[in-house]
Amino acid sequence: MRLTATISSQTMKSIGETVASLEITSADDAFYLFRLGANELPLDDTWHPSLEEAMRQAKFEFSVGPADWTQVED
């Protein structure tokens, strides 16, 4: 499973880079929240035990809610 969300560009102070979109990908019975730059290359990621936890982190960091996500076919 892969979900994407476009955000208004925000600079992450921890890495000093501008995040333009987010992606949640499932792998190995876990979920990864990727922060992507304008060129769609990953800038940072976090591991989460559930989809709900990954979405909660996106909401906390970027105010992205459940309705902001789009499922992408691989």
Confidence tier at 7 by pLDDT (50, 70, 90): confident
pLDDT digits (tens, 9 = 90+) for 23-32: 999 999 999 9
Mean pLDDT of 53-58: 97
What global pTM score does this model have?
A: 0.87
| DSSP code string of the chain | -EEEEEEEEEEETTTTEEEEEEEEEEETTEEEEEEE-TTS-EEEEEEESSHHHHHHHHHHHH---GGG-EE---
